Amino acid sequence: MKKIPSIPIILLSLLIIGIAPWARRILRFIYGIIGREKSALGLKIIFLVGIALLVIYLLTKRQKIKIGYGIIFPLGSFILLTILFFKIKLPEEKVHLIEYAILGFLLFKDFFKGRIKLFISILFLLIVAFTDELFQLFLPDRYFDFRDIIFNSVGGFTGWIFGNFLLKK
């Protein structure tokens, strides 16, 4: 049983937390080059391409998918993530949903085997999300927002569920 997360998980977690001081500056830079509307459209396109790739993967998968909890729970989680993604106004929050979904997927793929896998993964996601928000308390143009912890956790948990759905044998 692994006792520590892998290098990609650690690096992504540090990137998520470490980008906080520069996130707004990077967004302003992107807005200055392509504008706010085109950058929002770009995020939506990235998200839709991800959906398309997932659908292609599922259609080319050799084994049949049985209708039941094994498909309904991931599908419901994905629909929730999609609704949140298109309802959220702030681009930073959309990026966080994607970042944390990737982190959740990596946690399923690589972190702790056995019965405590879900608990440890969720705990790790919450620690990263809380640390990210806590770090923002000390930044001049950022603030702690409990709502962000919830969005980050939803993104991470959805990524974990999809890791479970796609990688489970």
What does each C-alpha distance from 97 to 2, 49, 108, 126 come to in angstroms? 26, 15, 16, 13
16 occurs within a structural domain: no
- Provide the residue count of the chain: 169
**98, 102, 97, 157: which is closest to 126 by C-alpha?**
157
pLDDT at 66 over 70: no
Q: 112-162 pLDDT, tens per residue?
A: 566 677 788 888 899 999 999 999 888 887 888 888 898 898 889 888 888
Q: What is the DSSP string of 36-47?
A: HHHHHHHHHHHH
120 occurs within a structural domain: yes
Q: Average pLDDT of 12-32?
A: 87
**92, 93, 85, 90: which is closest to 23 by C-alpha?**
92
pLDDT-derived band at 106 (thresholds 50, 70, 90) equals confident
17 occurs within a structural domain: no
57 occurs within a structural domain: no
10 occurs within a structural domain: no
- 130-141 core/surface letters (b: 16 or more CB in 10 A; e: else): bebbebbeeeee
Strands (DSSP E) contained in 49-133 are none
105 occurs within a structural domain: yes
122 near 112, Cβ under 8 Å?
Answer: no
| Structural domains counted in the chain | 1
162 occurs within a structural domain: yes
* Domain encompassing residue 143: 64-167
51 occurs within a structural domain: no
pLDDT at 111 over 80: no
155 near 99, Cβ under 8 Å?
Answer: yes
Question: How many C-beta atoms lie closer than 10 Å to residue 12's C-beta?
Answer: 19
Q: Average pLDDT of 92-120?
A: 79
pLDDT at 43 over 60: yes
CA–CA distance, 107 with 87 (Å, rounded to integer): 26
